[in-house]
């Protein structure tokens, strides 16, 4: 799984503010002394559905997709796109012994791992830490439900507009970006066929809403795209 794990220090690490706000400096140093970093190339599997859960994971850098297999072996259901500093194992670590989803890098990604048993020990002994972790789980679940509801409430053009604005505004913060997922993966994320994704992207291009060059996207008319997203 990834390259060989490298120990890393939490001295300058964002993990301090993720879930360890109510952990003492000495405790934090102890936990971080066993934290490892793993590097994954784009397209590389981080977790396979059914793998045993042994680590507590978060993204230090990059993007990943959380997805599940369906009855159609050629089609996955993409549940969510996870961003840097998201706790990507948080939906499964306390509810099961094996992952019920897969996690795959969609950009070159760095994942940090904590030993799961040590995290569980901290939950048992530090109530403030446990409450912080519960809040993170709730926010993660709420965000996934909200995004899926927003997507499912829209027509086909509205769904494509939503995804383009998601990558432009929430991830890359730029009107010009390279799509990290394929047309097929967009379809798996928003519940459409690949053919419909290709057709609607072509419509947006002809209407001068976006420019397309392979995976490179430039949003030409952000206001119109927002209107399609809002009313689609």
Q: Indicate if the pLDDT at residue 20 is higher than 80.
A: no
pLDDT tens per residue, range 166-186: 999 999 999 999 999 999 999
> And the tokens for 81?
């796109």
Q: Which residues does residue 105 pair with via DSSP β-bridges, in sequence order?
A: 64
User: What SS3 class is residue 195?
Assistant: helix
pLDDT tens per residue, range 38-93: 999 999 999 999 999 999 898 989 999 999 988 777 788 999 999 988 888 888 88
- Nearest-angstrom CA–CA distance, 97 and 140: 20
Please state the domain extents for the chain. Answer: 6-147, 154-231
Domain 6-147 is of which CATH architecture?
A: Sandwich (2.60)
Q: Indicate if the pLDDT at residue 196 is higher than 60.
A: yes
What pLDDT, on the 0 to 100 scale, is given for residue 1? 47
Topology (CATH) of 154-231: Arc Repressor Mutant, subunit A (1.10.10)
Indicate the Cα dihedral angle 221, 227, 228, 232, nearest 10°. Answer: 170
Q: Do 106 and 81 form a contact (C-beta atoms < 8 A)? A: yes
What is the pTM (predicted TM-score) of this model?
A: 0.86
Non-local CB neighbours of 118 within 8 Å, separated by 6+ positions: 31, 34
């Amino acid at each position: 799984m990834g390259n060989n794990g490298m120990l890393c220090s939490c001295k300058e690490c964002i993990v301090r503010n993720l879930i360890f706000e109510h952990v003492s400096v000495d405790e934090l140093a102890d936990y971080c002394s066993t934290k490892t970093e793993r590097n994954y190339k784009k397209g590389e599997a981080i977790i396979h559905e059914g793998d045993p859960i042994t680590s507590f994971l978060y993204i230090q850098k990059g993007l990943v997709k959380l997805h599940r297999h369906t009855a159609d072996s050629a089609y996955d259901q993409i549940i969510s796109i996870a961003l840097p500093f998201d706790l990507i194992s948080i939906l499964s670590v306390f509810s099961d012994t094996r992952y019920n989803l897969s996690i795959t890098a969609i950009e070159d990604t760095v994942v940090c791992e904590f030993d799961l048993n040590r995290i569980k020990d901290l939950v048992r002994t530090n109530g403030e830490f446990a409450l912080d972790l519960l809040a993170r789980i709730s926010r993660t679940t709420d965000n996934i439900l909200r995004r899926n509801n927003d997507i499912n409430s829209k027509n086909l053009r509205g769904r494509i507009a939503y995804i383009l604005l998601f990558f432009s505004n929430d991830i890359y913060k730029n009107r010009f970006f390279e799509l990290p997922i394929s047309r097929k993966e967009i379809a798996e994320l928003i519940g459409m066929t690949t053919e419909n994704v290709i057709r609607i992207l072509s419509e947006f291009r002809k209407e001068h809403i976006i420019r397309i060059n392979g995976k490179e996207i430039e949003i030409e008319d952000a206001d119109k795209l927002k209107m399609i997203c809002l009313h689609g």
